Structure 1
Amino acid sequence: MKKLLLIVLLLTFSINVSGQIKSPQPSPFAKIEQKVGLTDITLEYSRPSMRGRTIFGDLVPYGKTWRLGANANTKITFSTDVTIGDYNVKAGSYAIYAIPSETSWNVMFYSDANNSGLPKNWDDSKVVAMLTAEIYPMPMNVETFTMTFDDLTSSSAVLGMLWEAVYVGVKIEVPTDNMVLTNINDVMNGTPTANDYYAAAVYYLQEGKDIKQAKTWIDKAISMAGDKVQFWQLRQQSLIYAKSGDKKGAIAIAKKSLAAAEVAGNADYVKMNTDSIKEWETK
């Protein structure tokens, strides 16, 4: 009996000791949070490394579904509805899987995002988007599997996937324009502030919308700001005037912005205004 108790105590001690040891994971977890327009996108995945292994066509076989990383499936979460290829994808969380080949990947967004790797029973009805993404050869090996958000605009981003000498990108589009225009319409039908007029005007300028409307709003914003107007606000007003074809007005406003930027010691705006004035005076 004493011998049996001794064995049990030794086993318990060894288990407790091993449970106290912390070591690095071979495929560490990563989480990326990216704002695209007005949409929040969160990406969670694990990052295996090459470690001298051949990846595609060997460790990751061609023609078979891969979980895009290691450990639990890669998960992406959208705060709004998005568009992926020809598919409208609702706000929520999705697993991402891929079937690599030598020239392209079939990338799939799967509505069940809580799998330990691949689903035990694959269900085609849970594939909410599937598209073919071309492979772009890299000039060097990327040691650790990496996912990125590239080519950011106010309305889209490219979900990049890099490993070994391969880059694959999938474009994700977000409904920023509809959301902003709805918001602008609601605010303008209420009691807009100077900041509201300014934000609406700048958005119209940046997105190439009705420049006359942008000019009306920016003038209203500057008028309401009065002597508290800032050099960066005057900068945007000058750009709107120039875009509307009023170069003379744009130059006059840019000179005000330049003077205010010099007082504030902002070299970036001094240079931008100086360059714009020179450009507009020659046209």
Structure 2
Amino acid sequence: MKLKITHIASVAVLMFLTLSTTAFAQINTPRGSQKATVSQTVGISEVSVTYSRPSVQERELWGKLVPYGMNNLGFGTAKASPWRAGANENTTITLSHDAKVGGKPIKAGTYGLHMIIKKGDKATIILSNNSTAWGSYFYEPSEDAVRFDVITKEIPHEELLTFDFYKVTATSTSLALQWGEKEIPFSISFDVTNIVLADIRNKMQDQPGFNRQTWEQAATFALNNGGDLDEALRWINNAIAGQFYSKQTFNNTQIKAAILMKQNKKDEALAVMDEVMPIATVLEIHRYGRQLLGQGLTDKAMEVFKFNAKKHKGTWPVHYGMARGYAGKGDFKNAIKHLEKALKNAPNPQSKANVQANLDKLKKGEAI
């Protein structure tokens, strides 16, 4: 009986210890190296890094706490491991879209981020397909998604290990690990135009596609960002006519004309604009005339300014437009005459100041 009780008691104690260990494993206590996530948007793409942040604490980092080269860490399955670029679990980097990292292509996804620190100013960055292992203890070279070399930089002391997106452009960002007196930077870039266009095509098949403004915005983006102009033209034509939400406006016709101009179809572009002149406001016509002047189409601009003067007689800014048209043709005398009229009906002090400045220039024989 005693043996039986002892056995039962032993099992009970073992179960208690097991449950206790499990319970303690679930307790949330502060880490020595706090966890952090930093992110950056590039175009419509997101990059984020999740990592743990150890302090220097007066320790010698490079070559000591972080050994140079690949090392046997004495645990796990890896015989030679890089640095885990932080503390605790894998440091991870997540890319919402296909990208280039260090100039090398990589698919969207989450990757383990490792580094090989070398003597001097050299380091190797590794993105591993294994993002869930603990640190670099289970590093396997065959799981590398990409690796590349970088040049490190000397910086003022950074006590806490920090990842920072220190530079951002329209299509790229520069990410750096900064710790102690060393910075380890690398570039990340996205094919923003094609990513956005793919997103547009996808959204047009959903609720946004039932909105005229969506098609106008899509065509404008393609026009201004090197998209397929034939596709852009189809999109703007869809906004103008043929669907229950379509409506021709001065604005969307201007978008169409700009696409046609970029396709070297000047006569078609001017013709479609002629169609909407009767529905345009005085300011829309004035801005269109200014645009034509900027394109070097002085005679057509003068035609537009005259149309505005006839359709909106005596209103601001028809005389200002006529003055610009005459000045563009080198007729300063008539330009001055119209600027003096524009000065009288300018709607606010700023407009009057702009007219006066141009009037002063013309009187000195300077072009406006």
Whether TM-score is above 0.5 comes out as yes
* Alpha carbons of structure 1 residues 244 and 151: separation in structure 2 relative to 1, 3 Å: farther
Letter in 1 for 2:167: D
CA shift for structure 1 position 209 = 7.6
* Alpha carbons of structure 1 residues 219 and 131: separation in structure 2 relative to 1, 3 Å: same
The aligned counterpart of 1:144 is: 160
**TM-score when scaled to structure 1?**
0.63
Letter in 1 for 2:195: M
Aligned residues: 229
Structure with larger RCO (C-alpha < 8 A, sep 6+): 1
Aligned partners of 1:242 and 1:147: how far apart in 2?
49
**Residue 212 of structure 2: which of 193, 196, 203 is its match?**
193
* Alpha carbons of structure 1 residues 70 and 129: separation in structure 2 relative to 1, 3 Å: same
Letter in 1 for 2:196: V
CA shift for structure 1 position 166 = 1.2
Aligned partners of 1:128 and 1:243: how far apart in 2?
53
**Residue 184 of structure 2: which of 168, 177, 181 is its match?**
168
Stretches of structure 1 lacking an aligned partner (at least 5 in a row): 224-233, 257-272
Aligned partners of 1:79 and 1:55: how far apart in 2?
33
Stretches of structure 2 lacking an aligned partner (at least 5 in a row): 1-8, 71-81, 237-249, 256-283, 306-315, 318-349, 359-366
Aligned partners of 1:35 and 1:243: how far apart in 2?
38
Q: Secondary structure at the match of 1:151?
A: strand
* Alpha carbons of structure 1 residues 59 and 243: separation in structure 2 relative to 1, 3 Å: farther
The aligned counterpart of 1:220 is: 252
Higher mean C-alpha deviation, range 33-42 or range 58-67: 33-42
CA shift for structure 1 position 71 = 0.3
* Alpha carbons of structure 1 residues 209 and 47: separation in structure 2 relative to 1, 3 Å: same
CA shift for structure 1 position 174 = 1.5
Aligned partners of 1:244 and 1:108: how far apart in 2?
50
CA shift for structure 1 position 44 = 0.9
More strand by share: 1
CA shift for structure 1 position 85 = 3.1
The aligned counterpart of 1:153 is: 169
Q: Secondary structure at the match of 2:131?
A: coil
Q: Deviations over 1:46-92 (max 9, x none)?
A: 00010111211221112231100000010112222111234321121
Aligned partners of 2:131 and 2:50: how far apart in 1?
11
Aligned partners of 2:46 and 2:115: how far apart in 1?
23
Letter in 2 for 1:107: I
More helix by share: 2
**Residue 74 of structure 1: which of 69, 75, 91 is its match?**
91
* Alpha carbons of structure 1 residues 80 and 184: separation in structure 2 relative to 1, 3 Å: closer
Q: Deviations over 1:146-188 (max 9, x none)?
A: 0022322232111211011111211111222112234557759
Matched, 1:56 2:73: no
Aligned partners of 1:113 and 1:25: how far apart in 2?
20
Matched, 1:130 2:167: no
1:64-143 alignment, distance < 5 Å: 64=70, 65-101=82-118, 102-120=120-138, 122-138=139-155, 140-143=156-159
CA shift for structure 1 position 244 = 6.0
Aligned partners of 2:173 and 2:211: how far apart in 1?
31
Identity, % of aligned positions: 25
Aligned partners of 2:198 and 2:186: how far apart in 1?
28
CA RMSD of aligned residues (A): 4.6
The aligned counterpart of 1:180 is: 196
* Higher radius of gyration, 1 or 2: 2
Letter in 1 for 2:164: T
Aligned partners of 2:228 and 2:178: how far apart in 1?
40
